[in-house]
Structure formats: C-alpha cells, structure tokens
Chains A and B, each alone.
Chain A
Amino acid sequence: MIHRECGILKTSYEADMALYPLPIARWTVGVIAALMFLALPLAVGEYYLSLVNLISIAVVGAIGLNILTGVAGQISVGHGAFMSVGAYTAANLAVRLHAPFWVALPLGGLVAAAVGAVIGIPSLRIKGLYLAIATLAGQFIIEWTINHVTWISGGVQASIEVPRPRLFGVAIASQRAMYFFLLVVVVVAIVAALNLMRGRVGRAFVAIRDQDIAAEIIGIDIFRYKLLAFAISSFYAGVTGVLYTYYLGVANYEQFQIGTSIDYLAMIIIGGLGSVLGAIFGAVFVTLMPIVLRYATETVGHLMFAPSDVANVTTNLRLIFFGGLIILFLVVEPEGLERLWRNVRNYFRVWPFAY
C-alpha cells in the first residue's frame, strides 16, 4: 500500500535472494526488534513475560521440526525425545563437569543432533508413514533408555537439577532476564533457519520433499541430506530441551513425552508447513490456546454450570476445542495460519487497488 515494490529492481541473484529484499522489510524488522527488545519488557508484567518465554522456547522447537517435516518432508514424531536428550546432556555437563551455561547449550544441541542422525538412519529405506512410526519407536526407546540408565538420568528419579544460568557473570534469574536471553536465541534460530532455507542445503531439502527420486537422479545425495535434516532438526530440539531445563531449573524426561511431540507437530501444521513464519505462528497459537480457552471457559462457564462442574467442563472442553481446532484448520485451511497471514499481506500489498 505504499507501493512498496515499485521501482525496486534486482540485478543479481544475491540481491534477489537477500534476507531483506525490500527496504520496507528492513524497516519492519527494525520496528519489531524495537518493540520486542525495548517496549515489551517495559510494558508488561512478569506473568506475561513468562508466557512469552514459554512461547519463545516453543518457537525454537517448532522451527526445528519445521526444517525436518516441513522443508525436508520427513515426518518425525520423536521431537520430544531429542529435547530430552539435549536436556539431560546439558544437565549432566552442568552438574558433573560444572560446565557453564554457554557451553552446555550448544553441546546439548550437538549430542541431540548426533542422536537424531542415528534415529534418521531408517529414512534410507522407508519414508512417509513408516518413517513416522520409526521415529515414534525412537521416541519410546530414548525414553526407556533415559529412564533405565541411571548414568544418564542421574538416579531413579530421573531428574537433574541445574544451577541458575550465568552469562557474562550475570545470573539469569528473573523472567525479564530470561526473556532477553531467549529473545536473542530465538533471533539466532530464526536467522539460521532462514539462511538455511535460502542456501544450497535448503534447496536440496525441498527437492527431497517434492520429488526424491528426481533429486537423486540429478545428483543430490538424498541419504546424506536426510540425515543432515534430522541432525539439524534435532540440534534445534536439543537446544529447546536445554532452554526448558534452565528455565525450569530441572531436567526431567517426563516433560518431553509423546504428547509433547504431538504438540509440536500440531504447531507446525496449524502454523503452516515449510515456512519459518508458519512455525512461529503455530508455536504462539498452540502455546496460548489452552490458556485463552481456560480464561474463556472460566469466565463464561460460571454462567452456565454449577461451580463444581465448571472445572470438569472447562478441562474437557479444552481438549475438545484443541482437537476440534486442529481438525478445523486441516479441513478449512490446510496451509495453516501462514497462508492466512499471506492473504492479508497480499491484500495490503496492492491496496487500495484490487490487484
């Protein structure tokens, strides 16, 4: 609507594929950055910041799963297990070797990436549904291993406490401090994912997703790239697990079970497969929805049911809404929230003209 694309001509491939193809993109990002870094933390209270923190952690995980399932086309139901791998790695490093936070974080991701690559080995032979089931098996096997091998889980309670993270000598203790840190991590994650998709590796992934036989024929080593996809996605998952661990102060695999894996799948599907923005939308939506639903049913429920029944109704209604919304999105808008967003954006692109 500001004729944003008028007069802007690209003369090289690099320019065309740049991260900020238009000047307005730079402005938009700048405004958002100012909002998130300056305005938001000053304006809202601790509770809302804690929500944003939860969402940020989910965003990292969703972007990771999106790379594997949305971009590379390999369905994975084992995302939660990779998170617990990252979580326990970091927790063990922190407790046994007194590794500082900034060491534990990437190492947790790397170990998770290694495990992810191993779980991805079946992708050599199978794909689609069967691969999904193989990753499901991977989820259960990793859980079982952590539960039974006390060397990893730190005892029968399978919980390892981590000290408060310290970065540059400052302890990250309050929600606000955690918020800034997570924001930085999220930005890095987003930029990394975007760059990945723009580059050679990303294009290979898309080729594998769309037509893997053709991709192999033109010379893309699909097995290597599939493993790479698993590894990168698991790296993100491991980092998510580490972030959760430090956010809560304890690593426990029961937070990362099959329900979590399914939640993340829901995030990327509702958000829109294959795009980073979709993953962000999905993460925000799925994290916030139970909370919003709870507020709504509590406020409205008092009018319709006796107080003792309200709790029962609220909670079951929430499940029904969750499932119903997933189905609704899949039936009505299979490309997710990202497509809705794109429709809005395209409308405003040429506004006030019709096309």
Chain B
Amino acid sequence: MNSVLRSLIGASVAVGAVLAVAGPAAASHEIVIGLECDRTGPTQVVGVNLCPGYDDYIALVNSKGGVAGHKLKVIEIDHEYKVPAAVEAYERQKKDGAVLIGLYGTPQTYALTQKLTEDRIPGTSPGFGRADATDGTRYPYIFPIAATYWSQATAAVKFAGDQLKGLRGKKIAYLFYDNPAGREPIPVLENLAKREEFQLRLFAVPPPGVEMGAQVLDIAQRYRADFVVAHLFGRSPSVSIKELKRIGYPLRKVVSFVWGAAEADIDAAGGYAVAEGYNCLEFAGVGENYPVLTEIREMYKKEGREPTKEMASTVYYNRGVLIAAIHVEAIRNALRAKPDGTITGEDVKRGFERIRDFTLGGLVPPLEITPTDHEGGGWVQVWQVRGGKLVRETDWFKAYSDVIQAELRQAAMKKS
C-alpha cells in the first residue's frame, strides 16, 4: 500500500506544480472574453460547429490587430451542459478578468443571471436562454442578441400564415421537446391562436426525443395539421424529419425553430433528398456567400492551413461567427469611450446597447439593441431545403412585436 500511496502523493504534487505554473494570466491591454461552449454533452452537435466559428472570427480580428489596437483573448470552457460546471467556469472566467461572457444553454443562463447582474458582467444567450431577458430594464446584464423563443414563435406563425394564405380556422400543430425551453413559447402561441383564430394543438416529445412515432401519427393522420411548428433539439429534429416523411406529411408544411435547422440535422435525417421542402428559421445567414467567411478562409490560407472542416456546417458555424461579431462590436463601442483598454463589464454592457446598423454583409440581421430591448428586434430568416441545399426563402423579418411586448409586461408584473 505504501508504494501506491507514495505514487499518489507524487502524482498530486506533480499536478499541483502544473497548476501553479499553469493558468496563464491575461497580458496587459488584452481584452478577455469568457466563452462557454459545449463540444461534449447533449448539445455537442451544435457546439462542435459553433465554437470554431466563434474562435475563427476572433482569430480574424486579432490577425488584423485586434479591436482598436487591443487583442482579444477568449477563455473557452466546455461545461457539458451541466450547471455546477457552468458556474465554476464563470467564476474562473471572472477571475481571469473576463468583461463579457458568452453563455451556452438555457439552464445555465438561468443559473448565472443573478451572478452576472451582481458582478456587472454582461452575458449573451443568442437563440436560447430566457425570452423575458429581452426586457433590458429587468435584466440589464443579459443580452439575447438574437431571436428568442418567443420571437421565433411569432415568426413561425407568421410564416405559416403566409404559406397557408391566412390563419383563420386552420390547424397548427406545435411539436416540441418537453423541457422548459421547449415549453417557453407556449403562452405566446396560445395568445396568437386566440388572436388569429386558428386551432393550436400541442404535441410534446419527452426527452430524449428519439422516438416520436405516436405524435407524428397523430399530427398527420388524426389531427391532420395544416402546418407544423417544430421546436426540437439535439437528435429529435432529424428524427422528426424522418418520421414525418415516412408518414407522408409534406415537409414544406413544417417550419423548425433555430436549433432544429442545420445541415447536421438534415444529414442525420438521411440527406437533402429526404428533407426536401423542410423550412428552417435561422438567426444568422446560412451558406458560404458572405464576405467575412471569405476573409476567414483567406486567413487560413495565409497561415498555410486548410480551413477548418466545421466551416462546411454553415448554419452553426455562421452562428458562432455572428456571436463573435456582435461581441466584438460591443467591445468596439466600449473602447470608444475608453480607448486605453481598461474597460469593465459595465462598459461592454453599454457597448452592447449601442449596437445598430451592423450586418456583416447580410450574415447578421439589422439588429438594434437598446437599453430596453436586449434582443435587437427578434429578426429571423426562413431557409428551405430545396434541390440539395438550403435556399433562402424570405428576407429578415419579425412579427407580432406587440404580442411579445404584452408577454414581457405580463412577466414583469408576475415577478414584482
């Protein structure tokens, strides 16, 4: 036992030595961003493509000398979609001087809201998180910066209405993953159902969402929905595509929220031929035709490397780029007030609230983030699977802002 003991002691000493030496501190004039991004865990399909997008944009900015002369340093931590790990990651990023946190995951956003508010560090939760954080006065340090689930819901209904030439009397099915994120849009949808006088039926898919035969059968054969609004994550979108197709339900009558709408889902469903007609809501541009992507590819070429293979998965990769770009814009705005680089979280927060007219060649929607609207407008685009690739179906649009405002007011009243 003694030898085992000695080796244990030796090992821990070694680890301790490594720890003491490791943990690089930020160099002066470097601006530190904390990014939580999961390349493992239930959402790894997303993170594996999104994180490289983020990293590449930051590398691009740094290769051009940084933001107003200051380089950016990203502390990227994977928390496997677990909350204690996310909290520890946040504490570590804070310790290393992060002035901005890119959050990842709805439960994590909820868990860190109070801490971020107390520590006065802004956190972004694009396309997930809590929809009521749109209200910048109630949640001053949480920035959705992209369409929340409420906005996605209203946009989906509007799209369905346009496709069906009117909503009155039609039957809409809401197929969703049965967890809080999936249920978040339900009040908004029910509101719209009353207002536009259409029938709404909810079809919950319990986790892990790998088997939904009965729900799909119901939608297609018994309820006979005129349109399906799908809000699924992880494995379930591809399963839903396959099941709906098997039942013979036309995929062009399906519109999916942003996390069920990527190349990976289409591939997993069996390819573009299978998913023909599937409509996807996107909060970032899709595809390779954006100047910033060309610049990133050139950056790789200059370094003599092949562009990372995740670039092909443009839906998630481009979202990573979008998040990074908005982060950089906020920092740029903050640096205008303090050019010497000693910005704090408070400055970055104000930097966010000045973002407008920033579209990155069409990759980013015309966001307008203000102290009261941290979402930027709730813009989405609809892309459709057509002829072997994703084709843009609509331009940036948002819908039923008044319904969302009413919902926000109601949420504010409930809390106080």
Where the two chains meet, the residues of A that have a C-beta atom closer than 8 Å to any C-beta of B are: 45-47, 50-51, 54, 58, 144, 147, 153, 155-159, 161, 164, 173, 175, 247-250, 252, 254-255, 259-260, 287, 290-292, 294-296, 298-300, 307-308, 311-312, 314-316, 318-319, 340, 343-344, 347
Residues of B within 8 A of A147 (CB): 178-180, 183
B86 to chain A, nearest CB (A): 9
A310 to chain B, nearest CB (A): 9
CA distance A247 to B107 in the complex (A): 14
Which candidate, B91-99, B192-200, B322-330, B360-368, is the interface stretch facing chain A? B91-99
Pairs of residues from A and B, 8 with the lowest C-beta to C-beta distance, nearest first: A249-B114, A156-B183, A47-B95, A254-B107, A255-B83, A158-B180, A315-B40, A299-B22
Where the two chains meet, the residues of B that have a C-beta atom closer than 8 Å to any C-beta of A are: 1-2, 4-5, 8, 15, 18-19, 21-23, 37-40, 48, 51-52, 55, 76-78, 80, 82-85, 87-88, 91-92, 94-95, 106-107, 110-115, 118, 130, 178-181, 183-184, 186-187, 206, 308, 414-415
A-B contact pairs, 25 of them (CB 8 A): A51-B88, A51-B91, A147-B179, A153-B180, A156-B180, A157-B183, A158-B183, A161-B415, A248-B114, A249-B111, A252-B83, A254-B180, A255-B84, A255-B107, A290-B85, A295-B22, A295-B23, A300-B18, A308-B55, A308-B308, A311-B39, A315-B38, A315-B80, A319-B80, A340-B4
Residues of A within 8 A of B206 (CB): 144
CA distance A54 to B106 in the complex (A): 20
The reply to whether B184 and A157 form a contact with Cβ atoms under 8 Å apart is yes
CA distance A3 to B44 in the complex (A): 56
The reply to whether B88 and A50 form a contact with Cβ atoms under 8 Å apart is yes
The reply to whether B83 and A295 form a contact with Cβ atoms under 8 Å apart is no
CA distance A294 to B1 in the complex (A): 29
Which one of A155, A173, A252, A315 contacts B78 once the chains associate, using CB atoms below 8 Å?
A315
B356 to chain A, nearest CB (A): 29
CA distance A54 to B85 in the complex (A): 10
CA distance A287 to B88 in the complex (A): 10
Say yes or no: A249-B113 contact (C-beta < 8 A), given A254-B180, A255-B107, A295-B18: yes
The main secondary structure of chain B at its interface with chain A is helix
The reply to whether B87 and A343 form a contact with Cβ atoms under 8 Å apart is no
The reply to whether B111 and A248 form a contact with Cβ atoms under 8 Å apart is yes
A116 to chain B, nearest CB (A): 22
**Chain B residue with minimal CB distance to A319?**
B40
The reply to whether B110 and A159 form a contact with Cβ atoms under 8 Å apart is yes
Residues of A within 8 A of B77 (CB): 294
With a 10 A CB-CB cut-off, give which of A50, A153, A158, A254 has the most chain B CB atoms. Answer: A254
Residues of B within 8 A of A58 (CB): 84
Say yes or no: A344-B84 contact (C-beta < 8 A), given A158-B180, A250-B111: no
Residues of B within 8 A of A155 (CB): 414
A18 to chain B, nearest CB (A): 29
A43 to chain B, nearest CB (A): 15
CA distance A259 to B207 in the complex (A): 14
Residues of A within 8 A of B308 (CB): 308
CA distance A157 to B112 in the complex (A): 15
CA distance A244 to B367 in the complex (A): 36
Query: How many residue-residue contacts, CB under 8 A, span A and B?
Result: 127
A105 to chain B, nearest CB (A): 18
A215 to chain B, nearest CB (A): 33
CA distance A308 to B48 in the complex (A): 10
Residues of B within 8 A of A45 (CB): 95
Say yes or no: A173-B118 contact (C-beta < 8 A), given A147-B178, A290-B85, A311-B51: yes
The reply to whether A291 and B51 form a contact with Cβ atoms under 8 Å apart is no
Say yes or no: A308-B52 contact (C-beta < 8 A), given A250-B113, A250-B114: yes
Residues of B within 8 A of A314 (CB): 78
CA distance A292 to B179 in the complex (A): 32
CA distance A316 to B80 in the complex (A): 10
Which one of B88, B95, B111, B114 contacts A54 once the chains associate, using CB atoms below 8 Å?
B88
**Chain A residue with minimal CB distance to B178?**
A147
Residues of A within 8 A of B8 (CB): 340
CA distance A319 to B79 in the complex (A): 11
Say yes or no: A50-B91 contact (C-beta < 8 A), given A157-B130, A344-B5: yes
The reply to whether A47 and B87 form a contact with Cβ atoms under 8 Å apart is no
The reply to whether B87 and A50 form a contact with Cβ atoms under 8 Å apart is yes
The reply to whether A347 and B40 form a contact with Cβ atoms under 8 Å apart is no
Residues of B within 8 A of A319 (CB): 40, 80
Residues of B within 8 A of A247 (CB): 87
Residues of A within 8 A of B112 (CB): 248
The reply to whether B115 and A249 form a contact with Cβ atoms under 8 Å apart is yes
CA distance A50 to B19 in the complex (A): 17
A321 to chain B, nearest CB (A): 12
Residues of B within 8 A of A298 (CB): 22
Residues of A within 8 A of B1 (CB): 340, 343
CA distance A316 to B41 in the complex (A): 9
CA distance A248 to B413 in the complex (A): 23
CA distance A247 to B91 in the complex (A): 13
Residues of B within 8 A of A307 (CB): 55
Residues of B within 8 A of A250 (CB): 110-111, 113-114
B154 to chain A, nearest CB (A): 16
CA distance A249 to B39 in the complex (A): 27
Residues of A within 8 A of B186 (CB): 156
**Chain A residue with minimal CB distance to B310?**
A308
The reply to whether A254 and B19 form a contact with Cβ atoms under 8 Å apart is no
A211 to chain B, nearest CB (A): 30
CA distance A318 to B21 in the complex (A): 21
The reply to whether B39 and A315 form a contact with Cβ atoms under 8 Å apart is yes
B34 to chain A, nearest CB (A): 12
CA distance A223 to B107 in the complex (A): 38
The reply to whether A47 and B180 form a contact with Cβ atoms under 8 Å apart is no
A251 to chain B, nearest CB (A): 9
Residues of A within 8 A of B37 (CB): 311
The reply to whether B78 and A311 form a contact with Cβ atoms under 8 Å apart is yes
The reply to whether A255 and B111 form a contact with Cβ atoms under 8 Å apart is yes
Say yes or no: A252-B110 contact (C-beta < 8 A), given A291-B88, A296-B15: yes
A334 to chain B, nearest CB (A): 14
CA distance A158 to B87 in the complex (A): 19
Say yes or no: A54-B83 contact (C-beta < 8 A), given A249-B113, A311-B76: no
A248-B83, A287-B84 known, 17 other contacts, Cβ within 8 Å: A50-B87, A157-B184, A175-B91, A248-B112, A250-B111, A252-B110, A254-B179, A260-B82, A295-B22, A300-B18, A307-B55, A308-B55, A312-B48, A315-B39, A315-B40, A315-B78, A340-B5
CA distance A252 to B81 in the complex (A): 13
CA distance A153 to B372 in the complex (A): 27
The reply to whether A299 and B39 form a contact with Cβ atoms under 8 Å apart is no
A347 to chain B, nearest CB (A): 7
CA distance A155 to B55 in the complex (A): 36
The reply to whether B187 and A156 form a contact with Cβ atoms under 8 Å apart is yes
The reply to whether B91 and A46 form a contact with Cβ atoms under 8 Å apart is yes
